[in-house]
Amino acid sequence: MNADEQRAALVAALIEKGSLTADWAPSVAAVPRHAFLPETIWVDEADGDHECNRSTEPERWMRLAYSDLPIITQWDDGAEGHARITPTSSASMPTVVVEMLSDLDAEPGHRVLEVGTGTGYNAALLAHRLGAEMVSTVEVDAQVTARARTALRGAGYAPEVVCGDGALGWGVRAPYDRIISTVSLRHIPPAWLNQTRPGGVIVSPVSPLFGGGAVVRLTVDEDGTGASGRFTRSSAFMLLRQQRYEGAPVDDYLPGEWPGDSGQSWTKLDPEAIGDDWLAQFACALALPDVFYRRNGFGEGWTWWLFDTAVTSWATVDSTPGESRFEVRQSGPRRLWDELEAAYHRWESAGRPGYERYGLTVTPAGQTAWLDEPDNPLR
């Protein structure tokens, strides 16, 4: 099949899946996804991220361009001369792209800000439906910005493309009816609230510190100072660069040798039960927004290290295959494993609620996650 036939097949598959709605179908049918991809791409095909170059594998490259798969387009913020470690820019999975556009509920006449231009494909879809003059897109990486601008121009679309800090939004053309982020966040930036009109909508992936991730759809309050809304679906996006979190080294928590001054206890909950469940991680992460973990292998098992961002407390839990109980060590004013275990059991007791039962309220003082209703905060 040629590119047009493959694009038509992708549109049909997305419609059959129930992801692509009638209002966005003409844009997906019109905008050539392959025109926004670089010559070399990487795709996870079951056994790792495999490189594909258009000049040496043109048929495979084009097939991947119109597959319902995310495509990596940059590693390690564009650094060269070393082994690839972390993907830092991509073309999102088409299913996710169209479902988030559906969440956005943008209509002709709406002014939209996109944060995270990436390849430019999403901005092209917005420009096709809303008109290029209604769309601004911000990208932090100068190289990615330049490539997207060129691709957009080559495909016949001319939204405003800005190289800048997406966390600051783009106040020049505010207020916006809609803001959509194609990068994930720990916290919704205050600038986005200030730049969205009252009653406007913000759609963004959220990746809590502990793990998991989901897309949230927020409606800005009538006074413009806050926003609230529910999560709509799971997500796994690259983080906004300004919100990446490294965490302090272990020695800042534990001077000297493990187990230090920690107390010993035991648990029947295998931490791998949390780690193997994206939704469980997400639910626990919302309840414990200032806790993160590291995971080290030993023998056939894993040691989970839990830390708080205030650098006051830590815990370890050893997950050993075949065991019915697991050793816990905890130190500091907080008992981090006890808190995590309690959050997990609350999630179980609530019937293992899915993403759509969780929500987020954002105010100038910060953000609060909740279950079912805003008056039922998780902490």
Residues involved in catalysis? 92
CA nearest neighbour of 205 among 99, 75, 49? 99
Give me the amino acid identity at 216.
V
Structure tokens at 154: 């080559």
Which residue in the block uniquely carries the two structure tokens 């930036």?
189
Cα–Cα distances (Å) from 92 to 4, 79, 97, in that order, read 20, 21, 6
d(CA 73, CA 119): 8
Residue 241 and residue 88: Cα distance in Å, rounded?
A: 9
> How many residues does the structure list for the chain?
379
Helices 278-287 and 336-349 meet at what angle, rounded to 10? 120
Contact 278/212 with Cβ under 8 angstroms? yes
Beta partners for residue 358, in sequence order: 371
First to last CA, the chain: 54
Amino acid making up residue 323 = E
Specify the DSSP element, H or E, that contains 337: helix 336-349
Handedness of CA 274, 279, 283, 285 (dihedral sign): positive
Q: Which helix (H) or strand (E) segment is 14 a member of?
A: helix 3-17
Question: What is the three-class DSSP state of 20?
Answer: coil
What is the distance between the alpha carbons of residues 149 and 159, in angstroms, rounded to a whole number?
9
Instruction: Look at residues 63, 68, 113, 114 and name the one whose alpha carbon lies nearest to residue 91.
Output: 68
Dihedral, 76, 78, 80, 86 alpha carbons, nearest 10: 20
Q: Is the peptide bond before 175 cis (omega within 30 degrees of 0)?
A: yes
Helix axes 58-65 and 3-17, enclosed angle (nearest 10): 30
